[in-house]
Chains A and B, each alone.
Chain A
């Protein structure tokens, strides 16, 4: 049985004439321990799919199965790393990383032990008293990552985790991420538009196309870890994916692509949880 299975997921935004079918009967199976990347141009629905798996949005049709069970809404079984990190600025690194552990009522000793483990993994030991605004981009990224891993989720979901960093940082952090994943064996589903990142980190890359998020290519990356950026096969994979990415744009010109980007921007994520947060005092 696959760890994560997505079946027949469809999602559309807008109504009437301006309906935009972002995902059209999308499905995939991810095995335990696999690192799968969703690669595609902006507007292909990869982030939408990720948020549906995370439970931040509901699919119009279709279902997401985690270890055979249907998922409904967010939960600690699926960790999430946001592009913007979403580190709580009023908490220091320590409190941020401990937060998920507190929510699931982990024992105090387990919390401390896990915290030390995670800090060491992310090369952040000794920095746990710092606040997010005092951290560099790379440090914030690593903090967000270990926070998502804190409760050993069944699946880790990452939304363009290195998107906010400059080129040098990205290269460096890809290496760090690889090291972390080699230690913490976890099933990962990552979204990115960066081919290099996809080849460097993943076991398998699914290229999604515009117009429904159709999977145009399912490529297995058969390279040993740690990955060597300079090997010939590495470059070959990169070339294959770059071509696939171009095809995924469906020969769309710049104009069409821009139109789709605008559509993606307008299809704002509905803030589910905000609606549900009714202050207790309302009832009193």
Chain B
């Protein structure tokens, strides 16, 4: 990513940012699903 920044390859840069965001999002969601699976009594209503 640093390379992309120095080389001003903005399209690659934005692409990597998106990629990073997607991964971050997935990790977050996975942990949330884990939470719901392990503690169903908290999320039931």
Contact = CB atoms under 8 A, between A and B. Distances in A.
Interface of A: 89-90, 131-134
Nearest to A131: B41
11 contacts: A89-B41, A89-B42, A90-B39, A90-B41, A131-B40, A131-B41, A132-B41, A133-B40, A133-B41, A133-B44, A134-B44
Interface of B: 39-42, 44
Which of B39, B41, B42, B44 has the most C-beta atoms of chain A within 10 angstroms of its own C-beta? Answer: B41
Contacts of A131: 40-41
Q: Which 10 A-B pairs have the closest CB atoms?
A: A89-B41, A133-B41, A133-B44, A131-B41, A90-B41, A132-B41, A90-B39, A131-B40, A133-B40, A134-B44
A16 to B, nearest CB: 42
Nearest to B44: A133
Contacts of A90: 39, 41
Nearest to B45: A133
Contacts of B39: 90
A192 to B, nearest CB: 28
A132 B41 CA distance: 8
Contacts of A132: 41
Contacts of B40: 131, 133
A89 B44 CA distance: 11
Contacts of A133: 40-41, 44
A133 B44 CA distance: 7
Nearest to B42: A89
A79 to B, nearest CB: 24
Contacts of A89: 41-42
Which of A132, A133, A134 has the most C-beta atoms of chain B within 10 angstroms of its own C-beta? Answer: A133
A99 B44 CA distance: 23
A132 to B, nearest CB: 7
A54 to B, nearest CB: 26
A48 to B, nearest CB: 30
A134 B41 CA distance: 9
Contacts of B42: 89
Nearest to A132: B41
Contacts of B41: 89-90, 131-133
B6 to A, nearest CB: 46
